[in-house]
Amino acid sequence: MDIKSAERFMEKLVKAGKEYGFEECEASYASESSMSIDILDGEVSSYESSATSTLSFRGLKNGQMGYCSTNILEDSSIDYLLKSTMENCEVLNDEDPQFIYCDEKNKDLYFSQVTDAYSKNTYKSFSELGLKIEKAILDADPRIDAVDYLSVACSTGPYLIINSKGLHSYRDSDGISIVVSARATDEDGSVKSGDHFWIGKDIDEFDLDKFMDVFSEKLLGKMGARSCRSSNCSVVFKAEAFQQFFMAFFGNFTATPMQRGLSLLADREGETIASSVFTLKEEPMYEKALTKIPFDDEGVLTSAKAIIDKGVFATALYDLKSAYKAGRESTGNGFRGGSSVSEMPTNLIVEAGDKSFDELLEEAGEGIILTDLSGLHAGVNSISGDFSLLCEGYLIENGKKGRPVEQITVAGNFYDVIKSIKSVGNDIINLPSGEGEFFTPSVLVSSLAISGDEE
């Protein structure tokens, strides 16, 4: 369905919603077109293409917000949406007020960021590039046996919200991702695997040489890896590992879990919670970000802010509901996920320090570099901050990168880790995260428990 037809349906639905008895109501429409190719053994093994859309309706009745969604945008769906949503309102008894919102000064919100480069994303361009990448990987080293997964994908789509208070909000985005995973055989016959990815908006900006430099090191650097002795030692989180680690606990910085007693950061805005060398900002319109987000899914304008400012917890992220409960303004972080709105970050940036990665190792002297953490969906207690995770990396010996290590765990507590950050590097990378990206360098942490099975 084209966006104009969807818009007409939504206007009709919202009007019908008011007549049906909702105090306020809102319709949102998300549509996505995607295309991807997979490469295996010198061929395009798979091609995918899709066009999907979902319409979600929510309505307020007696202060309760019910939700219902469908992908059938026909008049016959209107009754279903209104009736189901009303039934849901009747069963709810949330004590906290909820809002359907429109700022009189910002009734019409529009932000389009799909570029002409998107038209370069074709079966031909993707398959040629995919095959070139596969060849480059297999040619990089005789120990590399196979590229098990290589996907080049793109997607784009509009997101439209219309509500009974007069909000008309449109934004769209697009992106390309390249993901690879390959395996190699070590001298002792054991198998090592490595993966890498690239995200961007213009396929011509993909730099194969740069990609291969990092990927080769990620995979071949593991050759000869074995466990190590258990100890408490300095740890350098490589940027990618730090992003994974930090995001496993990010929910604690959002207001709803705090208000529900599920975050230890509740009522601690203004307190020092991290090392003074650590600053984390949220910049929805960050210049280097692929996706910019000028307004959230509740129609609130977003703004740049520090979340942690030189170690001080500056602000949590709020949506309209949690902000009202806290007696303050929304921070513009209300984003729709399925049948609810919750606080999500846009673009997060860890402020770079002045040390290179090698200088972080020098400062550590002895310890471990963590390059990859596994099991973050399970091996963390996101509330208490405790974690115990399978990881890989390298030893740090005499201030330099030493031999690779595997089959070790790193354990500790998130809140202790952010307090014990000694230095922040300047080797910033970006990874997809939340509604946008996470930009972070590597960081040096003074002490964590490493478990290995060597004597």
What residues from 375 to 414 belong to the interface with another protein (CB under 8 A)?
375, 377-381, 383-384, 386-390, 406-412
CB-based contacts of 366: which residues, under 8 Å, 6+ apart?
233, 234, 396, 397, 398
The count of chain residues that interact with another protein, using the rule CB under 8 A, is: 76
Q: Of the listed pieces 255-263, 289-297, 302-310, 396-404, which binds another protein according to CB under 8 A?
A: 255-263
Q: How far is the CB of 411 from another protein (least distance, A)?
A: 5
Instruction: Confirm if 224 and 185 have CB atoms less than 8 A apart.
Output: no
Residues forming a β-bridge with 108:
168
106, 125, 193, 315: which one binds another protein (CB under 8 A): 193
Q: How far is the CB of 344 from another protein (least distance, A)?
A: 17
11, 72, 205, 210: which one binds another protein (CB under 8 A): 72
Q: Does 84 interact with another protein (rule: CB under 8 A)?
A: yes
Q: Does 40 interact with another protein (rule: CB under 8 A)?
A: yes
Q: Does 453 interact with another protein (rule: CB under 8 A)?
A: yes
- Three-state SS at 454: strand
How far is it, in rounded angstroms, from Cα 452 to Cα 227?
5
How many residues does the structure list for the chain? Answer: 455
Q: Does 449 interact with another protein (rule: CB under 8 A)?
A: yes
How far is it, in rounded angstroms, from Cα 438 to Cα 346?
9
Q: Rule CB under 8 A: which of 287-326 touch another protein?
A: none
Q: Of the listed pieces 37-45, 245-253, 419-427, 438-446, which binds another protein according to CB under 8 A?
A: 37-45
What is the per-residue burial (b if ≥16 Cβ within 10 Å, else e) of 346-379? bbbbbbebebebebbbebbeebbbbbbbeebeeb
Q: Rule CB under 8 A: which of 145-164 touch another protein?
A: 146, 148
How far is it, in rounded angstroms, from Cα 43 to Cα 76?
45
19, 95, 287, 354: which one binds another protein (CB under 8 A): 95
How far is it, in rounded angstroms, from Cα 318 to Cα 322?
6
Q: Of the listed pieces 15-23, 288-296, 338-346, 396-404, which binds another protein according to CB under 8 A?
A: 338-346
Q: Does 179 interact with another protein (rule: CB under 8 A)?
A: no
23, 70, 325, 447: which one binds another protein (CB under 8 A): 70
Q: Does 122 interact with another protein (rule: CB under 8 A)?
A: no
How far is it, in rounded angstroms, from Cα 368 to Cα 235?
5
Q: How far is the CB of 389 from another protein (least distance, A)?
A: 6
What is the per-residue burial (b if ≥16 Cβ within 10 Å, else e) of 209-230? eebbeebbebbbbbbebbebee
Q: Does 177 interact with another protein (rule: CB under 8 A)?
A: no
Token pair listed for 131: 């095959």
How far is it, in rounded angstroms, from Cα 140 to Cα 137?
5
Q: How far is the CB of 94 from another protein (least distance, A)?
A: 5
Token pair listed for 48: 């995918």
Q: How far is the CB of 238 from another protein (least distance, A)?
A: 18
Q: How far is the CB of 288 from another protein (least distance, A)?
A: 31
13, 27, 89, 255: which one binds another protein (CB under 8 A): 89
Q: How far is the CB of 325 from another protein (least distance, A)?
A: 13
What does 278-306 look like in DSSP terms, one character per residue?
--EEE-TT-TT-SS--SB-TTSPBP--EE
Tokens 């309209």 found at = 320
Q: Which of 380, 371, 442 is nearest to 412 (CA)?
A: 380
Q: Rule CB under 8 A: which of 199-238 touch another protein?
A: 227, 230
Token pair listed for 266: 């509740």
The DSSP call for residue 28 is: E
Closest to another protein by CB, 353 vs 379, is 379
Closest to another protein by CB, 220 vs 262, is 262
Q: Does 125 interact with another protein (rule: CB under 8 A)?
A: no
